[in-house]
Amino acid sequence: MQEIAIVDYGMGNVRSVQKALEYVAPNEHIFLSNDVDLIANADRVVFPGQGAIGACMQALNNHNLLEVIKQSAQEKPFLGICLGLQLLFDHCQENGGVAGLSLLPGEVVHFPKSELKIPHMGWNSVNQVAKHPLWHNIDNNSRFYSVHSYFVKTTDDEIISASSNYGIDFTCAVAKNNLFAVQFHPEKSQHDGLQLLKNFVNWHP
């Protein structure tokens, strides 16, 4: 039985992530935690997040979770979701500018002004620009559910795993070694989202 920790720092729809993982992996031990030791000793780590990035970083600091997240993202199968993607990068424009974890190179920027509604909310096609085990049994251009006003601009094209379009093309999934992170919400994306979570549980980087 695998120990799969979902980082719980008081923000994000962590219960939905937990229920979705339990559905696709009923024989694994899936738990919410802000305990550094439990997260450090887990076999896999999921890092979800919703809301403002400044408050998110403050909550992570308050729970002393920054180092264990960095360590997990470098050492074991690791899945970032929504803010859990954005926080992996160097910097975000939100809240007057917030430093990220600098695990991946790039910046998180606001969607440009246009006639499109911001935040980007709803279903959107995901173009798989690079093969990856987490896309197993998921058709290219499958639709996933997103809610966000900011998106990642990375300086390393090699980590881009998928893109979407909302007025502009933007990166919606990245992958590097044992790390995979998505802008969309697999736990809210029905069959394909559940398949991605199942692929994560079975992934051996």
Which residues form the catalytic set? 82, 185, 187
| Token digits of residue 165 | 């379009």
User: Considering only CA atoms, which of 47, 89, 92 is closest in space to residue 68?
Assistant: 47
- The DSSP code for 158 is G
Which residues 6+ apart lie within 8 Å of 117 measured at CB?
none
* Structure-token match 């809610």, residue found: 147
For the chain, how far is it from start to end, CA to CA, in angstroms? 18
Beta-bridged to residue 169, according to DSSP, are 165
Beta-bridged to residue 152, according to DSSP, are 108, 171
Tabulate helix, strand, coil % of the chain (nearest 5). Answer: 30, 35, 35
- The DSSP code for 185 is B
